[in-house]
Structure 1
Amino acid sequence: MIVQALKGYLLHLGIEKRVSEATMRAYEGDVVQFTDHLRAGLSREPDFSDAEPLAVRSFLGRLSRDGYSKRSVARKIASLRSFFAYCADRGLCAADPTIGISAPKTGRSLPVFASVQAMNRMMEIPPLDTMRGLRDRAVLEILYGTGMRLSELAGCSVGSCDFERGTIAVVGKRNKERVLPLGGKAAEHLRRYLEARYRASPAVFESRAGLGAFLGPALREPLVAGRGGERISKRTIQRIVRRYLEHAASLARMSPHVLRHTFATHLLDAGADLRAVQELLGHASLSTTQIYTHVTTERLRAVFDKAHPRS
């Protein structure tokens, strides 16, 4: 049965492949959606004998009719291909029904990023006389100053920071840890935020783990906290970024990932080495990072076309 195989596949992804929870949910959703498609024409639970190449093509056709983008369809094919390869390797199905089925070609869209001026404007918006303002400024400075992912910031604890060395450790995709430089502005505003939290409730920081670290906060305390002192949610970080970014720039997207794109683009604009940027972003492949070189090249071309008399 496909449903039972899916449970084992998810364990395989989480334990052996060490993929993120978000990726696991996406893969699970894609396989469940395909299973639902099979179930629609049956009076019983679908099994592997129902998952034929024709059924896969029928599923993809339905996705296209329902208005799914080429990128979404390509991702769902990748999910099914991974799942059925796992099942075929373990003898759960006779053959992989996705073999010979190609994904639609998707043009790679260039990352959305903000200007240096927009970043400077955004940083001046949060009021620094309130706990919320201090927190928001710290969040913005960290995301733009390190290029870390939304999930990486949400998972950071106070002990992730080494203020003496000016670094912050994050756990990225596939649970890979990397140590990032914490710039002067990010360190300054993170320190101010943590100091304010400690002054507001020193007993809370000290009693939870009994380990004094930076001004007393326990190393296991969340680096960025919600209203009740709990670890900040990803949704809250998204709201913080959107709230300030939309007042500082006019962009097609307003998300934490825009700050990550902006971080990488500004580094390359200033002459940073591509492989160094790859390491900072935590990209497994250099080709993923190379998309930012297209951004800088297109900008240079636009400047040339506008300014050169023989363009």
Structure 2
Amino acid sequence: MHSAIAQFLQYLAVEKNASQFTVKSYREDLMDLADYLADQLGAGVKPSQIAPRDLRAYTAALHEAGYARTSIARKLASLRSFYRFAQRQNLADSNPAKPLRNPRGQRKLPHFLTGEEIGQLFDAPPKLTPQGLRDRAIFETMYSAGLRVSEVVGLNDGDIDIEDEIARVRGKGRRERLSPMGRYALQALDAYKRVRVVSSASDLGRQTPVFVNRFGNRLTTRSVGRMLEKYILQTGLDTRTSPHTLRHSFATHLLDRGADIRSVQELLGHKSLVTTQIYTHLSTANLREVYLKAHPRARS
């Protein structure tokens, strides 16, 4: 086994011109396997003697040892590559790693802010300066309509219908949707637009950008990110908070208050319901936390 691994690593370095870091990663993965197989099957085991059941046992041992799913998936990828090489070199008749499935990735629940934290963040921008009024309007609009940061900076004056309280939003894949806007967001927008100064180049009537920088040109997504970072430090809120956190908070709060998931899917502009279902897990986790704290017989 060790001899075959050495040949494979030389092939990577010389013929594939792989970096030293790639070769090092493969070496570590394959030597881990070789050590395991030597313990289980004996020191003289050859690649041709390894069956899928041996690698399944190895995978189970990795899980029991506490390896992350991403690490296990990487090790399995290394094994498949090694055995493809071994087959070409007639060191093995088949690829026993091929039938193995990668472990499912563990999807992290998105970070969101509570209603109280939303209030803290929205109160942070100065109330008497054009920049402060703009920043407050951006926060209110993103949270009110569940917008991505790219969607909020892409808004034009003609996209917002004040009377019908609706915004026309251009989302991913150029898909358009209509997003309802709440009273607080519309009031914040009105206060900001009273003091907004747009450059002559950006003054395009209905195509005029809603949110502009100090030069009067359309704001960028990176500018919104930097602006939010400033207020996060100022308020002491969780540093994981990003512009997308407002969209996560929007969806989570709607579900917590009884909105059905299909409606939330439409409001977020998700093409697939599967994408929206992550928020049901988040909502359920929140409900369980409340239950454990409040129910007198929830804990022993």
TM class, shorter-chain normalised?
0.5 to 0.7
Q: CA shift at 1:291, angstroms?
A: 1.1
Q: Partner residue of 2:89?
A: none
Alignment partner of 1:163 is 2:162: yes
Residue aligning to 2:177: 178
- Displacement, 1:42? 4.9
CA contact (8 A) 1:119 1:248 kept: no
1:226 partner amino acid: N
Task: Tell whether the 8 Å contact from 2:232 to 2:239 is kept in structure 1 after alignment.
Answer: no
**1:133 matched residue in structure 2:** 132
Q: Residues 208 and 298 (structure 1 numbering): CA distance in 2 closer, same or farther, change over 3 Å? A: closer
Gaps of 5+ in 1: 1-37, 47-57, 78-98, 210-217
**Cα offset, 1:251, TM superposition:** 2.3
SS of the aligned residue for 1:169 comes to strand
Report the equivalent of 1:279. 266
Counterpart CA distance in 2 for 1:147 and 1:233 is 18
- Per chain length, whose mean CA-contact separation is higher, i.e. which structure has more relative contact order (CA < 8 Å, sep 6+)? 1
Cα 1:204–1:100 shift into 2, 3 Å? farther
Q: Find out whether 1:192 has 2:191 as its counterpart.
A: yes
Partner of 1:122: 121
Any conservation in 1 of the 2:137–2:189 contact (CA below 8 Å)?
Answer: yes
Q: CA deviation at 1:189?
A: 0.8
Residue 168 of structure 1: SS of its match in structure 2?
strand
Describe the shift of the 1:208–1:147 C-alpha distance in structure 2 as closer, same or farther (beyond 3 A).
closer
Q: What is the Cα deviation at residue 233 of structure 1?
A: 0.8
The one-letter code matched in structure 1 to 2:114 is S
Q: What secondary structure does 2:128 align onto?
A: coil
Letter of the structure 2 residue corresponding to residue 70 of structure 1: T
Distance 2:100 2:239 in 1: 33
Residue 204 (structure 1) aligned with residue 200 (structure 2): yes
Q: TM-score, normalised by structure 1?
A: 0.63
Q: CA 1:154 to 1:308, structure 2 compared with 1: closer, same or farther past 3 Å?
A: same
Which is further off, 125-134 or 99-108? 99-108
Q: How far is 1:103 from its partner?
A: 4.9
> Matches of residues 8-27 of structure 1 in structure 2 within 5 Å?
none
Which secondary structure does the structure 2 equivalent of 1:260 belong to?
helix
Stretches (4+) displaced over 4 A: 38-44, 99-104
Given candidates 233, 251, 265, the residue that maps to 2:220 is 233
Give, in whole Å, the separation in 1 of the partners of 2:203 and 2:233.
37
Give the direction of change, closer, same or farther, for the CA distance of 1:155–1:102 in structure 2 (3 Å limit). farther
**RMSD between superposed Cα atoms in Å:** 3.2
What residue number does 2:278 align with? 291
Distance, in Å, in 2 between the alignment partners of 1:40 and 1:131 is: 59
User: If you compute each CA radius of gyration, which structure gives the higher value, 1 or 2?
Assistant: 2
Q: How much identity, in percent, do the aligned residues show?
A: 39
Residue 288 of structure 2 is matched in structure 1 by 301
- The correspondence of residues 96-111 of structure 1 with structure 2, limited to 5 A, is 103-111=102-110
**Cα distance between partner residues in 1 of 2:183 and 2:140:** 10
- Normalising by the residue count of structure 2, what TM-score does the alignment of the two structures yield? 0.65
Shift of 1:292: 1.0
Number of aligned residue pairs:
223
